[in-house]
Amino acid sequence: MLFSPEEILETISMIGKENFDIRTVTLGISLHDCASPSEKETCENIYQKICACAGRMVPEAEKLERKYGIPIINKRVSVTPISTVIAPCVRRLDSRQGEKAAVEVAKALDRAARDNGIDLIGGFSALVHGGIGRSDAVLVGSLPRALSETKRVCGSLNVATTQSGVNLDAVSLAARQVKMLAEATGKDKGFGAAKFVVLCNAPGDIPFMAGAFHGYGCGEAAINVGVSGPGTVKAAVSALPPGADAAEVAEAVKRAGFKITRAGELVGRELAKNLGVPFGSVDLSLAPTTKTADSVAEVLEEIGLTSAGAPGSTAALYLLTNAMKSGGAMATRRAGGYSGAFIPVSEDARMNDAVKSGAMTLPKLEAMTSVCSVGLDMIAIPGETPWETIAAIIADEMAIGVANNKCTGVRLIPVPGGKPGETVDFGGLFGKATIIGVGKESGARFVSRGGRMPAPIQGMRN
Q: What is the mean pLDDT of residues 74-83?
A: 94
In one-letter notation, the amino acid at residue 69 is: G
Q: Is the pLDDT of residue 12 over 80?
A: no
| Beta pairing partners, 376 | 410
List Cα–Cα distances, 346 to 77, 98, 199, 288, 356, in angstroms. Answer: 23, 35, 19, 10, 11
Strand extents, DSSP E, 83-195: 120-127, 153-161, 165-167
Q: What is the mean pLDDT of residues 439-446?
A: 89
pLDDT in tens, 308-337: 989 999 999 999 999 988 888 888 888 888
Could you give the 3-state DSSP secondary structure of residue 202? coil
Read off the pLDDT band of 47 (50, 70, 90): very high
Contact yes or no for 169/180 (Cβ under 8 A):
no
Q: What was the pLDDT predicted at 375? A: 87
Residue in 428, 431, 411 with CA at minimum distance from that of residue 353? 431
Range with the largest mean pLDDT of 278-287, 334-343, 421-430: 278-287
Read off the pLDDT band of 227 (50, 70, 90): confident
pLDDT in tens, 123-149: 999 999 999 999 999 999 999 999 999
Q: What b-and-e string marks burial along 358-371, b requiring 16 or more CB atoms within 10 Å of the CB? A: ebbebebbbebbbb
The fold adopted by the segment(s) 26-200 is Anaerobic Ribonucleotide-triphosphate Reductase Large Chain (3.20.70)
Instruction: Check residues 265 and 125 and name the one with the higher pLDDT.
Output: 125
Contact yes or no for 226/28 (Cβ under 8 A):
no
Average of per-residue pLDDT values in the chain? 88
Q: What is the mean pLDDT of residues 42-55?
A: 95
Q: What b-and-e string marks burial along 46-78, b requiring 16 or more CB atoms within 10 Å of the CB? A: bbebbeebbeebbebbeebeeebebebbbbbbb
Q: What was the pLDDT predicted at 54? A: 94
Q: What is the mean pLDDT of residues 280-298?
A: 80
Instruction: Check residues 295 and 272 and name the one with the higher pLDDT.
Output: 272
Can you spell out the DSSP letters for 33-60? GG--S-HHHHHHHHHHHHHHHHTTHHHH
Strand extents, DSSP E, 128-220: 153-161, 165-167, 196-200
Q: What was the pLDDT predicted at 341? A: 80
Q: What was the pLDDT predicted at 334? A: 87
Residue in 398, 337, 376, 369 with CA at minimum distance from that of residue 161? 398
Rama region for 317: left / alpha / beta (φ>0; ψ in -120 to 50; rest): alpha
Instruction: Check residues 323 and 340 and name the one with the higher pLDDT.
Output: 323
Question: DSSP class of residue 193?
Answer: G
Q: Is the pLDDT of residue 11 over 90?
A: no
In the chain, how many H helices and how many E strands? 16, 14
Read off the pLDDT band of 373 (50, 70, 90): low
Instruction: Check residues 439 and 59 and name the one with the higher pLDDT.
Output: 59
Q: Is the pLDDT of residue 192 over 70?
A: yes
Q: What is the mean pLDDT of residues 175-183?
A: 94
